[in-house]
Amino acid sequence: MPSPHWSAPVAHAPVDAVVPLPGSKSMTNRALVLAALADAPSRIVRPLRSRDTDLMAGALRALGVDVADDSADWLVRPGDLTGPARVDVGLAGTVMRFLPPVAALASGEVAVDGDPRARERPMGPIITALRALGAVIDDGGRGALPFTVRGTGAVDGGEVTIDASGSSQLVSGLLLAAPRFEKGVQVRHEGPPVPSAPHLAMTVRMLRDAGAAVETEPDVWRVAPGTLRGGDREIEPDLSNAAQFLGAALVTGGRVTVPGWPTETTQPGDALRDLLTAMGAQVSHGPDGLTVRGGDGFHGLDADLREVGELTPVLAALAALADSPSRLTGIAHLRGHETDRLAALVTEINGLGGDVRELPDGLDIRPRPLRGGVFHTYDDHRMVMAAAVLGLAVPGVEVENPGTVGKTLPDFTELWASMLAPA
């Protein structure tokens, strides 16, 4: 039986490594949905293989889509969407928000459930919106998982207003399936700002690449009814999962290169270039990829992370090791992520002797000397990654349930060890 804890390795020298990363979770799960709704087969080239993407593939298979392995690629052959089916969304935000609109297009009942924590993540606005668009959903009045989508084989579509301040995925889910709605969709957001703007741009870009007609204006998205094309869809490396590796260059005063960094992308991880530069890194982008070099120490960060919330755990860990305080704001919605990430980061970093305070919409982080101890991870892959960053500089960080990285990066501890191995 594997050890329940992972001893995060201390870096005894500056890292000097090239770290190739698997594909983007966000792009892979969008590509799977678009391929499943297309009018012809698709090849998803270099998809991420992880719990979240396997769950999406499994959910689509349950509805009648053929998703087959072809060496490292996935071949997707769309079919009639049918129930009855049971869908497990695990703890994947992309599956719990992107799959129900697809299930509404199926004929037959689709029962949707996930991990215990999945039942607490925001779902109410998309359930209400889908009903307004013509879907029948039985959620026992909970406005949350579990629920049953009673598909009739078609969704009317039309205009809907939604409060998506809890998650951008509430909008993305409606848009991705909308070309197959009879009237398409117009989604209008009303409420506090929608987070994760790059992920919405990713949805729009991938829909357009598949042939959909999409128009946007601030807080309004329109998708016309139409046919989605099949074909090849190449998946970029997951730039959010680059955060901990590039951060290791800062912590150790070393150098890390992530190959295949796109010159232009909708991934929020691209913001690491500016964020790590603001913390004192030297960042260069060339044919070899993106290279981050650290020097003698690095600084805190004063940043609004609303658009790039998923980078927060690793940035907070870096901030706890910096030479000046940090203030990270715009991230109240992280309370609805895999765990309440604001509370988790406060508890766990302070548990090692840190000084992190929770703000209404973020974190105040004052660096202090840290000591070893158990770092709990709350089924949150990014808490493991944050702990790994702290462990580079703090001996004795024992990370609970490291296997939870399987959500997006099953090989994380192996990649971390090879990054730290002498060249």
Ligand X SMILES: O=C(O)C1=C[C@@H](OP(=O)(O)O)[C@@H](O)[C@H](O)C1
CB 52, min distance to ligand PEP, A: 6
Catalytic residue, from 109, 190, 236, 310: name it: 310
Q: Does 94 bind ligand X (CB under 6 A)?
A: yes
Contacting ligand X within 310-329 (CB under 6 A) = 310
Query: How many Å separate Cα 294 from the centre of its chain?
Result: 26
Q: Does 55 bind ligand PEP (CB under 6 A)?
A: no
What DSSP string describes 374-400? EE--TT-HHHHHHHHHHHHHSTTEEEE
Question: Contact letters (x/-) for ligand X, 18-37, by CB under 6 A?
Answer: --------x-----------
CB-CB contact of 286 with 262 (8 Å): no
Q: Does 339 bind ligand X (CB under 6 A)?
A: no
Q: CA 301, CA 281: separation in Å to the nearest integer?
A: 12
CB 171, min distance to ligand X, A: 9
- What, of ligand X, ligand PEP, none, does residue 199 touch, CB below 5 to 8 Å by kind? ligand X
If you compute the radius of gyration of the chain from its CA atoms, what whole number of angstroms results? 21
- What, of ligand X, ligand PEP, none, does residue 293 touch, CB below 5 to 8 Å by kind? none
Cβ neighbours of residue 123 closer than 8 Å, sequence gap 6 or more: 96, 97, 143, 144, 145
Which residue among 24, 28, 42, 94 contacts ligand PEP (CB under 6 A)?
A: 94
Binding-site residue set for 3-phosphoshikimate:
25-26, 30, 167-169, 196, 310, 337
Q: Is 310 a catalytic residue?
A: yes
Binding-site residue set for phosphoenolpyruvate:
25, 93, 121, 169, 341, 382, 407
CB-CB contact of 30 with 209 (8 Å): no
Q: What SS3 class is residue 290?
A: strand
CB 313, min distance to ligand PEP, A: 8
183: DSSP letter: T
Q: Does 180 bind ligand PEP (CB under 6 A)?
A: no
How do 326-329 and 355-359 pair as beta strands?
A: unpaired
Q: CA 327, CA 330: separation in Å to the nearest integer?
A: 10
Distances (CA, A) of 72 to 43, 122, 190, 233, 234: 10, 33, 41, 13, 12
Which residue among 50, 169, 241, 265 contacts ligand X (CB under 6 A)?
A: 169
Question: Contact letters (x/-) for ligand PEP, 126-165, by CB under 6 A?
Answer: ----------------------------------------
- What, of ligand PEP, ligand X, none, does residue 92 touch, CB below 5 to 8 Å by kind? ligand PEP
Distances (CA, A) of 363 to 155, 231, 248, 332, 386: 42, 43, 21, 10, 15
Looking at the chain, the number of H-run helices and the number of E-run strands are 12, 23
Q: Does 382 bind ligand PEP (CB under 6 A)?
A: yes
Contacting ligand PEP within 344-373 (CB under 6 A) = none
Interface contacts to ligand X, rule CB under 6 A: 26, 93-94, 167-169, 172, 195-196, 199, 309-310, 333
Question: Looking at the annotation, which residues are catalytic?
Answer: 310
Interface contacts to ligand PEP, rule CB under 6 A: 92-94, 310, 337-338, 382, 408
